[in-house]
Structure 1
Amino acid sequence: MVRKSRLIARTALAAALAFGAFGAAGSVALAAPPAAKPVPPKLSKEFVALAGPFQTELGAAQKAGDAAKAAALLPRWEALVAAAKTPDDQFFAGQFGIGISQLTKDQALQARALELSVNSGRLEGADLGKFAFFLGAAKLNTKDYAGAQAALLKAQAAGATDPDLPALLSETYFGQNQVQAGLDTLWKAIETRAAAGNPAPKEWYLRGLSIAYRSKMYDQAFRFAMGNVAVNPSTDNWGDTISLARAAGKYQAQETLDVMRLGRRTGSLRDTNDYAEYIQAADPRRSPGEVLKVIDQGVTAGKLSPKDVFVTDGRAQAQARLAADRAGLPALERDARAPAATGTVVMAGADTFLSYDDAAKAEALYQIALAKPGIDADRALTRLGIAQFDQGKYAEAQATFAKVGGIRQPIARMWSIYAAQKAKGG
């Protein structure tokens, strides 16, 4: 997901470092620290005396790629740190420690060495942001979450622009069991990137989803799942999103029905439970045609056994109702279109035609129902949007879904996301 659990790459770090070389005799030929004031570095005599030969031996170890020789320099590096009196001493002691850590793969040493340079006071602006970011990443590697958080916040304040910074910062909250703060940090970063036209990596969504789900924060998990499926549409992602919607929403039958209808259209009904929940929500006595289609689809997909009692009973009930239900459609439409029809009668007609995939008639009746008093407007709007979707009227469907509020709003948002994807040929 992010640059975690590894040492900072030497190539990236080399671009940030700006120290020169000590001569064998202890003479100094050092460049000033990055972004430091344009004056020669102020080094103490004690530090220079130790640093000259140390630099020579460290350079030889680096040239040879010899980790053992670098590790052997650790006691002398500790002496260098102890001898560091000035801010420049501290800065360059940190650089030498980083050089050792790159060869020895010592994460704790790298964090300590970076901290010396960051805390030296010899870094400003973009360079401070860069080093503080590296420090935060290094401390995260060692599970010093509080220290990593402080460093990354300092990097952020200094204007660091590394794209991994927000995700790393969220990990510092997760590491301290501040789950909501971590999720909020990660989501804000996702929204910021989206606003800039630069979608976040899918790993960010999956990380938020995973953390929230393990914490049983299903509404939060659903937020990340819905964000993920919007930019990374796939059957699996739709399956995750729909499952989490059901877990987070704790819906009754009518809301569940419209969630499962989306699952059927996205091809993301996964298992026996999905099909069974769809059949129960649709109800063989109320929507026999739709139930029979779902049963047939589940059997064909190998998710329902045609010999299962639940399946045979559901099929028998639906088949017993089917002929009379179909025969009554003309009268149902006539009654629903009558000027004096109540909202209940019109909604019943609209729901029936939607269940038989007659989207055009369903759309017309939902429009009539919305002008009647006493109806569940959010339910009518949700299903009006579905009827428009089923006719390929994706822009109209999105506009309708945007009007849905209350407990159905998340359901409408999912449908709207799918309508937008279909409008783009998805």
Structure 2
Amino acid sequence: MDRARRGSRIVAGSAAIGMLLAAPVQAKKKDAAGPVIAMSDSFRAAAASVRAALEAGDLVTAVSRLSTLQPTSDFENYAAAGLRFEAATRRGDIQAQRVALTDMFKTASVPPADAPRLRYMAGLYSFQVGNYDDAVAQLNYARTLGYTGIDATMLMADIQMRRNKPREARPFVDQLLAQYRAAGRPIPAAWYDRAIALGYQSGDWAAVGALYRERLAAYPSTGNWRSAIANYLTAPGMNPQVQLDLYRLQAAVGAMASERDFQAYASLAERSGHNAEAKAIIEAGRAAGKLVATQTVTAGLMKTVTPKAAKEIGALPALARKATAAGDGSAAAKVADEYFSLSQFPKAVEFYRLALAKGGVDAGRVNSRLGVALARSGDLANARTSLAQANGEWANVAGFWAVWVDQQARQSASSTPPPVLARTQAVAGS
């Protein structure tokens, strides 16, 4: 972990002090980088004995010898504090590490190049002992010295969240994710979750959707898909048709996991006038063992939609002819929606394109569903183009489907034989 590595680097810095202890006594020129090294022979010998015990792993002896150090110069005070820090680090004594760092800061011998990192470490140790005020002060000091590491941003976010200050935490969490992205490093799932939780608390559903999509691209498990869709569906005021397409996506990724999932999807499809789709999802739920025939809501729904589904399918050819002759695209969009609900995706593509050509339709909705229909027909490249053109309230659901399209494309690419192998197979089969 970054924080542990930072600590080990400071121990390495303390070891460098040990190298100075073994060097001849000489003062640096005033214009040389770093502290002026000024140690008496007696201090050098006493400090060297501490270093020897530390290197031997004899902490008891090292701590005992530390108490005999009697620094008299600024650099000797710095070196003694560095040795106390190393001993405290080896013991895992955070409080003692923090005290040793404070003693180092009291000197003028802290190398300027090390000061930003040391201030960050002071903030970390204050955080670990629960002194959040000092932790923030040290981290801000480190920032003024130029320390802008991911670990410092993470720590500031942690502090504000532990203080139950989500408004103050959110800018740090956003900055943290941006730093991960800029560094090309994978964002830990836990930080996506924290950012999403802060988005919920602030009611920023656009950010919640974007974060869920990014999280799904990085962690595309079935369970993560279900959690993302189920949670996003709780957004207030969501268009029922957008909700329906999210349930369709949940089914497409195989994330229908409970009676509630199937029941909610089927009920929404029925209310949208897609009786055959409602019937199909109830049958799928029963086949998956998530619904039983005696379940009250879906049993009643099945009784209602079954005769309507047959009429719906029978009326579709005539509706398609009328839509083709209509002056605008609204009838074509409705016919496309019907074909879509029946999983007849190539026909849905045909009529969504007709609807866009004729005009007079919600282009965001039509482009979103055209993109899905293209993807379900196997045309992933054009699916991306159409989904990217979805706007308004449809942009978010189209974005979720775009993540699924990208995952389908990767799966297809990984299952396609390399060109040489493909040609070999073709020759072998000829």
Determine if the TM-score, normalized by the shorter chain, exceeds 0.5: yes
Q: Structure 2: state its 5+ residue gaps.
A: 413-430
Matching residue within 173, 177, 188 for 2:164: 177
Aligned 8 A contact 2:36 2:109 in 1: no
**Partner in structure 1 of residue 56 of structure 2:** 63
1:93 and 1:230, CA in 2 relative to 1: closer, same or farther beyond 3 A? same
Alignment partner of 1:37: what SS?
coil
- Over residues 151-187 of structure 1, what are the superposed CA-to-partner deviations in whole Å (9 max), with x where a residue is unaligned? 4455456555865444334223323434244333333
Contact 1:58 1:70 in 2 (8 A): yes
Structure 2 SS opposite 1:19 = helix
Query: Does the CA contact (< 8 Å) of 2:210 and 2:396 recur in 1?
Result: no
8 Å contact 2:371–2:387 — kept in the other structure?
yes
Query: How far 1:128 sits from its partner (Å)?
Result: 2.9
Aligned counterpart for 2:354 among listed residues 368, 381, 385: 368
| Alignment partner of 1:393 out of 379, 383, 398 | 379
Letter of the 2:346 partner, please give it.
Answer: A
2:13 to 12, 16, 20: 16
Corresponding residue of 2:289: 302
User: Which of 220, 228, 232 is the aligned partner of 2:215?
Assistant: 228
Query: Helix, strand or coil for the counterpart of 1:248?
Result: coil
- Structure 2 match to 1:417: 403
Tell whether the 8 Å contact from 2:276 to 2:310 is kept in structure 1 after alignment: no
- SS for the counterpart of 2:411 is coil
Residue by residue over 1:59-118, the C-alpha shift from the partner in whole angstroms, topping out at 9 and shown as x without a partner, is: 42662444x5566678x49x96xx6763x3443243122123123321122123234335
Conserved 8 A contact 2:46-2:65: no
Q: How does 1:223-372 map to 2 (within 5 A)?
A: 223-248=210-235, 250-283=237-270, 286-340=273-327, 342-372=328-358
1:145 equivalenced with 2:132 (yes/no): yes
Question: 1:259: how far off?
Answer: 0.8
- Deviation string 1:388-419 (CA, Å, 9 cap, x unpaired) is 11112222222222222222222111111111
SS class of match (1:267): coil
**Which residue identity is paired with 1:110?**
Q
Name the SS for the 2:215 alignment partner: helix
Give the drift of 1:8.
Answer: 6.4
Moved more, 103-112 or 49-58: 49-58
Instruction: Report if aligned partners of 2:53, 2:62 keep a CA contact under 8 Å in 1.
Output: no
% identical aligned pairs: 24
Pairwise mapping of residues 183-198 of structure 1 onto structure 2 (< 5 A)?
A: 183-198=170-185
Q: Distance in 2 between matches of 1:156 and 1:246?
A: 40
Give 1:218 shift. Answer: 6.8
Change (3 A) 1:11 1:380: same
Shift of 1:54: 6.1
1:153–1:233 CA distance, 2 compared to 1 (3 A): farther
Q: Is the 8 A contact 1:20 1:31 kept in 2?
A: no
Task: Find the aligned partners of 2:221 and 2:72 in 1 and give their Cα distance.
Answer: 57
Query: Partners in 2 of 1:41 and 1:318 — Cα distance?
Result: 88
State the Cα deviation string for residues 220-244 of structure 1 (Å, max 9, x = none): 5544332211122111121122122
Q: What is the CA deviation profile of residues 262-317 of structure 1, one whole-angstrom value per residue up to 9, with x for unaligned ones?
A: 11111122322222221122116711221122112222333222211111111111
Cα 1:303–1:124, aligned 2, differ >3 Å: closer, same or farther?
Answer: farther
Could you tell me whether the CA contact under 8 Å between 1:145 and 1:175 is conserved in 2?
no
1:218–1:247 CA contact under 8 A, matched in 2: no
Distance 1:211 1:373, change over 3 A: closer
> Alpha-carbon deviations, 1:27-57, whole Å to 9, x = none?
986998xx972664246x7xx8678546635
Query: Residue in 2 aligned with 1:408?
Result: 394
Could you tell me which of 123, 127, 143 is aligned with 2:114? 127
Moved more, 409-418 or 98-107: 98-107
User: Contact 1:378/1:404 (CA < 8 Å) preserved in 2?
Assistant: yes
| More displaced stretch, 302-311 vs 245-254 | 245-254
1:119/1:23 CA distance change after superposition, 3 Å: closer
Distance of 1:158 and 1:394 partners within structure 2: 49
TM-score, normalising length from structure 1?
0.81
Which has the higher mean CA deviation after the structures are superposed, 187-196 or 246-255?
A: 187-196
Cross-structure match for 1:380: 366
Structure 1, unaligned stretches of length 5 or more? none
1:325 Cα shift?
Answer: 1.1
Distance across 1 between alignment mates of 2:253 and 2:176 = 28
